[in-house]
Structure 1
Amino acid sequence: MFGSAGSMFSTFTDPMVRMSGQGNPDFDKYARRTSRYTTYQQAKHKLTQAQLKLKQVEERLKDANVVAPFDGVIVVKNVNQGDIVQQGQILLKFANIKELQVELNVPSRLVTSLRINKKYRIRLDISNVIVNAKLVQIYPIADNNKHSVKVKFDLPENTPVLAGAYAEVEIFETDSGVLTPVISEDAIMWRSSLPSVFVVNPRTNKTELRFVRLGEQVGDNRKSVLSGIAIGERIIVNPNILMISGMNI
């Protein structure tokens, strides 16, 4: 009876083992494959998260290093070591000493006379030389307050000038063909409600008072002169209030 009972128990349990998958090589193989795939997906997710964090760190590191867009020198430094800066704040200003430009605010009435890629005579104050510079840019918007338009000229290579130096540009009016001188407002005196300047006579080296007719504002501190003086004449900047004609310079 005992042997018979064991045989009956085995007959009952064998189908249950097969139904549960125990002892089935194919089922065990599938289970291991599923487990490995789950582990792979988890590792892949962790790798993606790590790559994102690495990219964020690299972006922060990139922002921490300022790379100049060209070879040059620092001309303005707006921050010091330890200062707290804001996004978009200008930290430094660079000057490209190999490719210098002249930036000029031209009276609006003269813009129609300008031609892109045309060369214009420019006198450099720092070396007192005259060069031919090509007009490369005319800004499309005028300054309503100053009635002027900003333009840029490319200076020739190896021009003896420093960044930030002063320059004078000769521009002919289309209608008259007359050069328009531009002077500093510091040279203008008002006497009898009329603007005037002191000019140095090249022969006597003495002062001469000239009444002038002013034109439009050019830049922050200059005026165009329609009549009274000519380009090339020497004028007195910041003249003494007691200055009169005939004084030796």
Structure 2
Amino acid sequence: MKINRKTIIVMLLTLVTGLLMGWLIFGGSSGQKMEEDHQHTNEIAGETIWTCSMHPQIRQNEPGDCPICGMDLIPLENDDNQELDPMAISMSPTAMQLASVSTAIVGTTAPVKSVRLNGKIQEDERLVFSQTSHIPGRIEQLKVNFTGEYVRKGQVIASLYSPELVTAQEELFEAQKIKATQPALYQSAREKLKNWKLSEAQIEEILEEGETKEQFPIVADVSGYVISKNVNLGDYIRKGEAIYEIADLSKVWVLFDVYESDLAWIKKGDKVNFTVASLPGQEFNGTISFLDPVIDPRTRVAKARVEATNKGNTLKPEMFASGVVQAALENKANTLIVPKSAVMWTGERSVVYVKTPSDNGMHFMMREVVLGPEMGEGFIIKQGLEPGEEIAVHGTFSIDAAAQLAGKPSMMNPEGGPAMTGHNHGGSEMPSTASPVKPKTVQSFTIDQKAKKSLRPLYTTYLDFKNALVADQLVEAKQYGGQLATAIEKVDMALFTGAAHNAWMEHSRTLKKALEHLPHFKSMEEIRGAFQQVSEGMINLTRSFTPFDTPLYIQHCPMANNNKGADWLSINAEIKNPYFGEAMLTCGEITDTIK
């Protein structure tokens, strides 16, 4: 069979076309697959690893909570980048966003703080008068019979019978008869009546009538409201004895309570705008005219006095008032102020994290600062920062956790070094190396069931107090602390006899001392400090009397009390930390059980 040349060319073209299509389909697909595999490998190599600042053995491929302590996981940063300072901690923009880290520029401003004050309306002490009788005698009539009644100057408010005044009138009549020969005796008789505050007109009226008056009127010396009635009809009063207390309420005082923490901001001459609950919609203003030089040892407050004009008698004594002072510190025109959220406070030290951007990302460097007075939502910085520097204002705990993990200077470890993971945060994976506070030696006593029952309300309220701190509830914690003080007062001390009585008195005194200033505290740190002392007292009380049939657990956090450690009582073995709340909820361990 003869094949022509044209047919051979067509067959060759068909073969070449088939080979080309096969290469495009299979060879290109293989190359693409290899490229995709290579890209996927790179993605795995660059995947973010998440870890816990307190338990660095935790490694996860996605964010979440630590399975041991429940804290938020943070990105594990590699240290391939060259940092500006070997002690700085680097964070990528993604890590900052996930950790909710935000920054702000430090600036200067005039420190002005809105100080809120509470107080009461009181009478102006300079306008309170005692209405006295200048004549001794018996009250025959009372023209003003109740407190609150208004009297005018010169108004007759009472009348009395005075044997001494009757005798003095008779002496005047006798002296008048020998006036021509004994003028000095006559004048002496008139002066005797004047000493009893009788006017010339009254004396002349007595002489004209020529008869002895048995009742004499008592007139008001001032105008005002009767705030106290001291006598009743028929009472015998001495010369100079007060019949009424009369107050002129045309001007009043507003006495505001100033807490110790606010005294640095309040001074004489400050303007105060205040309102009264019973007069909604009305606003008053005044000036602080006097500031107590001594603090009340019982309430721990000083009184700031504002004088107010009382038009229409709208301001009534004992009304509650709420005031605001826009206070400024003297000689502090340009002052550095930072938000409270930017400062990490350990009791003895205060630190912030300063941001230093570079070509390799963002870096944060811990810096110790010296705090000045608190002002609302911020602190004055006395030393440690300069205007224009950028600091972290949110997410500072996340930055500090990353610093601890990297072994760099942090709030709890200012010198740097290995991450602080030596104590238990609620799991059993890591043994504790912290030593709890050595318990005080307490003598135990045997008490009857009535005495034990009387103590149990203390524990109910104490546990509510603890749970409020666990939940970071400031108002509820103060409320339960106040209820605990009340519960201590209600314990019947007669149920404790002999040495047990002395022990109870000692324990109750300690607990009352710990709760003494709780109503005036404004921060969780202050309340938790009081709770620590209360817990020590409750633990000692429990060791003395063991009022529960079920066991009570003594739990311990080594990081509380400025890393000195602190204890608390719990009826459950589960750790719920009242000293740090949600920040480190399960940080702690059981150190003892009271059965």
The structure that is strand-richer by fraction is 1
TM-score calculated relative to the size of structure 1: 0.46
The structure that is helix-richer by fraction is 2
Higher relative contact order (CA 8 A, sep 6+): 2
TM-score calculated relative to the size of structure 2: 0.22
